[in-house]
Chain A
Amino acid sequence: MKLHTFFIVLTIFTATFSRIEPSFAQTDPVPPPLSMDEDLLQSKMKEVSKTLRCAVCQSESIWESNATLAIQMRDIIRERLIAGETPNEIRAYFVSRYGDYIVFKPRFRGINMLLWGGPFILLAIGAVVLSRSLRKWTLQKDEVPPEPLAPIDEKQRERIEEELRSLK
């Protein structure tokens, strides 16, 4: 695989993931209505809360945590949903205050791109190294002429024929 082919593969991976993981700046296609019923509100609250880390707990989302800070964050999510903000806008607010640490799923941006694309980059490098090694090995096998057989003397020939006769 040539160098430019590798970069084409890398670009395809990058483009694919940028579609899977949109940035929080993007808005939801259908914003929630200003007055939503309680079930829908709870469902939206759960959706957002489950993606945000409780800043003072160990690996708990603010939906699961009963820490005061988590409860206060849930209240803010509720208020913002009622005000008509989308889940992505609310997540963007928390990221602007606490950084990427606050979201469980790192955004596809900056150094995080390495996290998302790293395994595929390593896989691509491995594939390139493997293909190069295999090609080199194959070419070496083709290029090396067969080793000429050493001539055998009369004594060896007689012994071989004797062995063959004994097999019959």
Chain B
Amino acid sequence: MTEFRTWHVFLLLGLFGLFALFYKGLWGDPTALPPVIIAEPAPEIVAPSLYGDKQIVLSEHRGKVVVLNFWASWCQECKLEHKFLLAINKRFEDNPNFVMYGVNYQDKDHLAKAYLDQHGNNFEHMVDLKGKISIDYGVYGVPETFIIDQDGIIRHKQIGPVLGDVFSDMVQNKIEPLLNKSAPL
């Protein structure tokens, strides 16, 4: 009788586990993607700037908090978040331990430049030649934004536009604590 009860427990646990998996699979957020690259060292970037005036090397910014935004001129959501990105850079640009870069994704240089002329710009952008940077960072599409800490570790990945609550959370709970070294993310 005791063994029978043990098997009951096994069966119930098994069924519960299966139901939990089904629930997660069927009613969970299908757009949720596992953030595999979080807490990993940021892949090195060596890329030409959009305006071709210099080579941008990520490792040269070791010791700084780096915000990396992947965008394209054809991306509608990028247009929505653009003023929020400008606001982030405006807020922290005087901090010597902060730097922000845009990574132009699957785009044409002249269209990207026209986009920046139209929507304004206050930070530097690089060109993702052959998609190597975006694939290195596991980018699915644009916009995506990464926050890299002073040690070169990726601390946050935002899939989708940075606006509204996401913007506030990113500024107050992600970037500022890193710059102040006050709290882990």
Binding site for B on A (CB under 8 A): 3, 55-56, 68-69, 72-73, 75-76, 95-101, 114, 118, 121-122, 125, 128-129, 132
Contacts and interface: CB of A to CB of B under 8 A. Distances in A.
Nearest to A96: B36
A68 B135 contact: no
Nearest to A68: B106
19 contacts: A3-B3, A3-B6, A68-B106, A68-B131, A69-B106, A69-B135, A69-B140, A72-B130, A76-B132, A97-B135, A97-B137, A99-B33, A114-B21, A118-B18, A122-B14, A125-B10, A129-B7, A129-B11, A132-B4
Contact of B34 (A55, A76, A101, A128): A101
Interface size class of B (residues with CB under 8 A): 20 to 34
Given A69-B140, A73-B135, A125-B11, 4 more contacts: A72-B130, A72-B134, A100-B34, A118-B18
Contact of B131 (A72, A100, A128, A129): A72
B141 interface: yes
A47 B40 CA distance: 28
B135 A76 contact: yes
A7 to B, nearest CB: 11
A100 B35 CA distance: 11
Q: List the 8 shortest-distance A-B pairs measured between CB atoms, nearest first.
A: A72-B131, A97-B138, A99-B36, A99-B34, A98-B138, A55-B140, A68-B106, A72-B130
A98 B137 CA distance: 8
B58 interface: no
Interface of B: 3-4, 6-7, 10-11, 14, 17-18, 21, 33-34, 36-37, 40, 106, 130-132, 134-138, 140-141
A77 to B, nearest CB: 10
B33 A101 contact: yes
A76 B132 CA distance: 8
A87 B37 CA distance: 21
A75 B141 CA distance: 18
A101 B14 CA distance: 25
